[in-house]
Chains A and B, each alone.
Chain A
C-alpha cells in the first residue's frame, strides 16, 4: 500500500473509531449523533424495508435528467457563444456572479410555471449545472491549438470532421471537468431543493427525519448519501481517465 493511502485510511479509520467511542461513552449524546455502527445498522434496516426505493428513484432520476440536459445544452451553448466574442464578453460578468445567486429562491416561481411535480426540482438542478458546462466548454475551446485547426484545413476536413477529430479531443479535459461539475451541482441542486421545499426524494426524507428527531434514520440517510455521491465521483473519475487515455492525453 502506498504511504499516502495508508495514512488516509489510518486517519479516517481513527476518526470513525473515535466517534464510536465518544458516542458509546456518552460524551456525544444520542440526541446529537448516533454511533457509526448504529448508523450502518440503521442504513441496512432502512434499505431492507424498501420504504426508501421510491425516494431514491425520484432523486436520481431528477439528477440524471438534469445532468444530461445540462451537458447537451451547455456544450452546444458554449460552442455557439465561442464563435461570437462580443456575446461572450457581455456574458462574462454573469458567469462570474452566477454561483452566488440563491437559485432555490425561484422555486415558488417554478412551481407556478411548471406545476407541483418533479419538474421544478429538475429545472433548478439544470440551471445550477448548465453554466459550469458552458464556462468549461468555452475554456476548452480556447485551448484548441491554432496549428491543429490549420492542419485540419490543409487536410480539407469538413466542419463536422474537424469538430470530432480535432476540436473535441483538444477541448475534452475541460469539457469533462464541466461534466463532473454538472454531476456535483445537479446532486446539490436536487437534494437541497428536496430538503428545503419538496415532498419527495432522499433530501425530503432527510429533512423529515431531522424534524421528527429520528436520528437513526437521519444518520443512516447521511451515510447513504455520502456513499452514493462518493461512488458516483469515483465512477466519473475512472471514466475520465479512460477517455483521456483514449484521446491520447496524459
Chain B
C-alpha cells in the first residue's frame, strides 16, 4: 500500500515539476517578448490562440498528414535498417571494428551537406523528404545497437553456449534482450533526428507538410504563424519523446526508474 501511495506521490510531483517548467518557460518567453516587441515574436498566450486558430484552418490538417506520413515512413525505414545492421555489426567483431569510426564520423557530419545530393538524385516530393529523415535517424540507431550488442556481458553468452544454443537462438534469447534498453535509447535519439530531418527537408523539397508551411511563413515573415507552428512542433516533439522515454523506462525495469 505504501508503495502505491509513494509512487502516486512521485507521479504527482513529476506533474508539478512539468507545470513549473512550463510556467518558467512561459515567463522567459514573455520577458523576451517585452524586449523584442511585436516585430520579432508574439507573447505566449496570444501564440496559443494563433495555434488554435491555425489548427481550425482547413489547410492545416492535410499538411500535418503529409508530414506524419513522411515521418512515419522514415522512422520505419530507419528502425528496420538501423537495428538489424547494428546487430550484425555488433555480433561480427571485425566488421564492427571496421565500420565504427566511419559511422561515428558520418554521424557528426552536418547532414545538410548531403542534402543537395539527395535532391539531385531523388528530385522533389516524398522520396527526398523520407530519404533525408532516414539519413538523419539511421546512424544513431545503428551505432547504439552495435555498441549495445558488442558489449553484452560475456558471461551471458558463455551461459548460452553451455546450453548449446545455436547462433540464432543466442541472438534471439540472449544478445537482443540484453541489448534492448540501449537499442531503445538509440531509437529515441534516432526518431527525434528523423523528425527534425523530415521537417528540414520539407522546407525545400516538398510542396506540402508542416516544414513547407514553416518556410513559407518565414519567407513572408508572418511572425504569428512562425511562432504558433514552432510551438506546435515543439509540443509534438515533446509528446513523442515522452512516449519513447516511457517505453524505455519499462524496458530498463523499475530498478532504474527513479
Contact = CB atoms under 8 A, between A and B. Distances in A.
A187 interface: yes
Interface string A83-106: 000000111111011011110111
Contacts, number: 134
A229 B230 contact: no
At the interface, is chain A mostly helix, strand, loop or mixed? helix
Nearest to A222: B113
B55 interface: no
A181 B214 CA distance: 27
A233 B203 CA distance: 29
A226 B113 contact: yes
A71 interface: no
A81 interface: no
B195 A100 contact: yes
Interface string B1-40: 0000000000000100110110011000000000110011
Contact of A218 (B98, B111, B116, B189): B116
A184 interface: yes
Interface residues of B, number: 57
Nearest to B195: A100
Chain B contact residues: over half helix, strand or loop, or mixed? Answer: helix
Contacts of A101: 230, 233-234, 237
B230 A105 contact: yes
Nearest to A224: B113
A102 B233 contact: yes
Interface string A213-249: 0010010001001100110010000000000000000
B146 to A, nearest CB: 13
A113 B21 contact: no
Given A31-B120, A102-B199, A184-B108, A97 B226 contact: no
Interface of B: 14, 17-18, 20-21, 24-25, 35-36, 39-41, 94-95, 97-99, 101-102, 104-105, 108-117, 119-121, 189, 192-193, 195-196, 199-200, 203, 214, 218, 221, 223, 226, 229-230, 233-234, 237-238, 240-242, 245
Interface of A: 3-5, 7-8, 11-12, 31-33, 89-94, 96-97, 99-102, 104-109, 112-113, 184, 187-188, 191-192, 195-197, 203, 206-207, 209-210, 215, 218, 222, 225-226, 229-230, 233
